[in-house]
Amino acid sequence: MKYGRAILLGAMALAMLHQVFPEGGLTVPGTVTAGSAFSIQSSGSGGATLYITGMGHFLKRDVQLGQSTLFPAGSIYNAGHYLVVLTGTGATVSSAFDVVPASEPENLSFLARPSRLPVDLHNGITGALYVFDAYKNLITVPKPVLFQLSNPAGATEARTVMTRDGAAWTQMDSTSQQGMDKFVARVDDGISSTRIVGQIPGDPCGLKMAARESGGKIQLQTDPVRDCSGNAVPDGTIVTFTESDKGAQSTVDVPIKRGVAEAELPAHSGATISVASGVVLGNQIRWAR
């Protein structure tokens, strides 16, 4: 905050000087690539002071007029417009140049949403990529970005999008197979960024249970619980068994463990037993023993 104010005041002072004194005797490059070395040529003779200010930078050099002043790589790395002022015993002269991002992408910010979604969802996955150079300057020159979504079985969905104003985005479908998919964004066949997108099974499909008597109770067990694409519904998913008999009802919510749900309910002859998970109903059994 303190430095920012100082830089701003310095820039304003230099700008005022720029208006007061005529321009001349200073040769600056039109554009400079961020982080690269560059030089500024002055004319005349004697000593002077060279100031460069803009975008969070403030440089001061004592220079000999008539010589070239070299700024090594890394001296200025924030893209933007810079003001150059040369002041000495004579008139103050000024000029300006632009620092542009390096053309080579070095950093990517890849936003992939969501990190978890059900299988078989059209345009369910969104990927947005921002391309930066080594100094975190947004590269606004259009670059081809390859978005690639691949599931553990090897199936791949790919799409190439050109960046616009430094960003590219796309939408992808989730596949019909559960698992941890790799979502990769690659720029210029070079640098890439990877996100993991979990594709989870949908609602149980064809939920079915079987019953047997065990020690005076009914032992209930579902078949392996799967969604409509054949993916195993994960352990921990709640399955509800309900037994209704002569106006009384017994209920138990049990988690699926090792692919199946098991429960024990009182054995009442003539009772009706049903199974459900979430809003999905399974089969019914009438217990008649």
Partner 1 sequence: MNKGVVLAAVLSIVTVAFVVIGTIWPGPSALAYAGGQGVVHSTATPEAAVANLGSQIQSQAWSKAYASLANKGQFTQTEFVHDLTGFYPGLRTYATLDKFEVRPLHASDNEADVQLKLFWSTVVGISVSSRNLHMVRNGDHWQAKWPIEKEPVVPPQVIPVNYLRWDVIYRGPGDDWGAQDVEEPHVRIVDMHAVQRADGVVVLGELLNEDVVPAYVSVNATLQSKSQAAIATEGSFDKISHVLLPKQVTPFLIRFPDVSLSDVGSVRMTPFSTLIPASADPVIAIDDATLSPAPDAYLTGQLVNQSGQVVNVAHVLGTFYDKSGQVVWVADQYLDSALLPQTPAPFSIHIPEDLARRVSSERAVVASYIAGGPR
Residues in touch with partner 1 (CB under 8 A): 108-117, 130, 193, 195-196, 198, 200-201, 203-204, 233-239, 242, 247-255, 257-258, 263-266, 277-279
Q: How far is the CB of 39 from partner 1 (least distance, A)?
A: 35
3-state secondary structure of 242: strand
If we measure between CA atoms, which residue out of 196, 203, 6, 51 comes closest to residue 110? 196
Q: How far is the CB of 150 from partner 1 (least distance, A)?
A: 17
Residue 32 has what DSSP assignment?
Answer: E
Of the pair 20, 279, the CB lying nearest partner 1 is at: 279
Q: How far is the CB of 141 from partner 1 (least distance, A)?
A: 20
Q: How far is the CB of 20 from partner 1 (least distance, A)?
A: 44
Q: How far is the CB of 174 from partner 1 (least distance, A)?
A: 13
**Alpha-carbon gap, residue 155 to 3, rounded angstroms:** 53
> Using H for helix, E for strand and C for coil, what is the string for 106-137?
CEEEEEEECCEEECCCCCCEEEEEEEECCCCC
If we measure between CA atoms, which residue out of 23, 143, 128 comes closest to residue 83? 23
Asked if 289 and 269 count as a contact pair (C-beta separation under 8 A), the reply is yes
What lies within 8 Å, CB to CB, of 55 at 6+ separation is: 78, 79, 80, 81, 82, 99
Of the pair 279, 288, the CB lying nearest partner 1 is at: 279
Q: How far is the CB of 66 from partner 1 (least distance, A)?
A: 47
DSSP states of 72-119? -TTS--S-EEEEEEEEESS--EEEEEEEE--SS--EEEEEEE-SEEES
Of the pair 130, 147, the CB lying nearest partner 1 is at: 130
Of the pair 191, 252, the CB lying nearest partner 1 is at: 252
Of the pair 33, 277, the CB lying nearest partner 1 is at: 277
Q: How far is the CB of 89 from partner 1 (least distance, A)?
A: 49
What are the backbone dihedrals phi and psi of residue 2, each rounded to the nearest 5 degrees, phi first? Answer: -65, -45
Of the pair 198, 270, the CB lying nearest partner 1 is at: 198
What are the backbone dihedrals phi and psi of residue 60, each rounded to the nearest 5 degrees, phi first? Answer: -135, 130
Of the pair 15, 252, the CB lying nearest partner 1 is at: 252
